[in-house]
Amino acid sequence: MPSAAVDVRALGVDFLAFSFHKLLAPFGSGVLYGRADLLQAALPFLYGGDMVAEGGVTAGHVTYNRLPWKYAAGTPNVLGVIVSAQALRLLADLVVPASRGYFRSNRPLPRSTIEETMRRVGSHTRDLTARALDAVRHIDGLILHGPDHAADRAPLIAFNLVGRSPASVAEALDRHGVESRAGCHCATLAHHALGLDPPASCRLSFAVYNTVEDVDRATGALHRVSRAGRGPLARLR
């Protein structure tokens, strides 16, 4: 769940990508920010649609369209973009009381509203993460990955139970009505660096819609799962 406003110019980043499904929107929509000079100098990797200038194709030469259309190959995901913008407006309406009325409109969101929305989401999810960390620190056999303090990590806890495969832990939590994720979480190299065999962990994540009660239910279930015996071995080095 996004929990902080990002100023790409202040950071001086070359490229930044994020997916909108983390922001209450459907799958398949996202943003790739790139510095204009880098985008202007690079060659497209997909071709078609609006990425060529009007009449800009000859037998021996292609003139690309101006930015950002230079990279708009094929039919764009119009619906996904519209819904993603509305998801951000909905989040602002839900989180910032003074910002009611953006959802289902085409009103631009002021930067101050976005920053306040992310500040509130970040504060809420940090509190939930801190509560979860405190609740699981002393579970026998639990190996917690990442920084010790919620302020230094994303709103999630990744862990292993000694002698239990992450998949078996996730399945056990599911039987208690708790949804978790098991696997490498698109971070296989990090799992190898941690010496995990297999390179996987279990994860509980927290978002704007989660409550203190959700955290207590999840961590309580994890306590029960940890005491319920050992499943298939996961060799942890």
Is residue 202 annotated as a catalytic residue, yes or no? no
Match 């942890």 to its residue by tokens.
236
How many angstroms separate the CA atoms of 234 and 142, rounded? 13
Closest CA to 16 of 38, 31, 27, 5: 31
How many angstroms separate the CA atoms of 233 and 230, rounded? 8
Question: How far is C-alpha 124 from the chain's CA centre?
Answer: 16
Cα 214–Cα 158–Cα 128 angle in degrees, nearest 5: 35
Query: How many Cβ atoms from other residues are within 10 Å of residue 95's Cβ?
Result: 17
Catalytic hit among 97, 186, 189, 232 = 186
Q: How far apart are the first and last CA of the chain?
A: 30
DSSP 150: G
Distances (CA, A) of 180 to 49, 76, 91, 125: 40, 33, 23, 16
Query: How many Cβ atoms from other residues are within 10 Å of residue 29's Cβ?
Result: 19
| Residues acting as catalytic residues | 186
